[in-house]
Amino acid sequence: MSRIPGIVCQLTLFFAAACVCGALPAAEPSDSGWTDLFNGQDFDAWRFHFGNAEAPNDGTFSIRDGILICSGKPSGYMYTKKSYGNYVLRFDLAFKKPDGMAADATPRGNSGCLIHVDKPNALGVWPASIEVQGMYRQTGLILPIPRSLKCSKTLDNEARDDALKPFGQFNTIEVDVNGGDMTISVNGTIVSTVSDCELTEGPIGFQSEGAETHWKNIQIRVR
């Protein structure tokens, strides 16, 4: 009987050590500072614009297993209720591969991310903003909306083509925003930049533009 306290003490020390060992990886998170911009459950933090005004989302944007899915119709966009100016945004984007698509086909797949959303209907349904093109063969291309919006931009087509994964697979897009300056990466490769944009803050939007589009891991790190 006199040995029981010693045994209990040894077991306590053993399990304590095991817990410490198991906790070590979690003590150094690789993505410290990142938060979910889209929670994968609801649209409480978002607004919707279709046509000439804000409008209810009647199934254009939906959620399946935590993934944001856009039917592509009608044209419009969802955008955050909050405004942002200095941050890094990242998300995974993929287009649904059409059934029977030929191996040598040139898929289009159209969508995009809107940075610094401002005045509505500045170009058709689209608001004044900087569009980071999501169209598959032009991923990362910078499109000022309207086209007269003042900014300087660059694009490295070769880097983009090398970085893109095959159509239908998820590509990770990262947009590093410092007011009117931006750096856009595709799968870790810088493909385009923006400088001296006259828009320096605003909501973040995602487009519905004719193709079924899937987004996941939509995260932001605010500075």
**CB 181, CB 196: distance < 8 Å:** yes
- Residue 57's pLDDT is what? 97
For the segment 67-89, the average pLDDT, to the nearest whole number, is: 97
> In the chain, which ranges are continuous DSSP H helix?
4-23, 157-163
**Residue 161, token pair as written in the block:** 């083509």
DSSP state of 26: G
pLDDT of 92-121, one tens digit each? 999 998 777 776 566 778 999 999 999 999
What residue type is 85 in one-letter code? G
The Cα 179–Cα 116 span in angstroms is 9
For the segment 132-153, the average pLDDT, to the nearest whole number, is: 96
The Cα 113–Cα 207 span in angstroms is 6
Name which of 105, 97, 152, 143 is nearest 124 in CA terms.
143
Angle at 215 between CA 213 and CA 221, to 5 degrees: 145
- Residue 67's pLDDT is what? 98
Asked whether the CA dihedral 45, 50, 55, 61 is positive or negative, the reply is: negative
The Cα 46–Cα 25 span in angstroms is 34
**CB 123, CB 146: distance < 8 Å:** yes
- φ and ψ at 7, to 5 degrees? -65, -45
- Residue 173's pLDDT is what? 98
The two counts, helices (H) then strands (E), for the chain are 2, 16
- For domain 31-222, which architecture applies? Sandwich (2.60)
Distance spanning both ends of the chain, measured CA to CA:
61
The Cα 92–Cα 40 span in angstroms is 13
What residue type is 121 in one-letter code? N
pTM: 0.84
User: Of residues 109 and 123, which shows the higher confidence score?
Assistant: 123
**Residue 8, token pair as written in the block:** 């209990």
* Ranges of each domain in the chain: 31-222
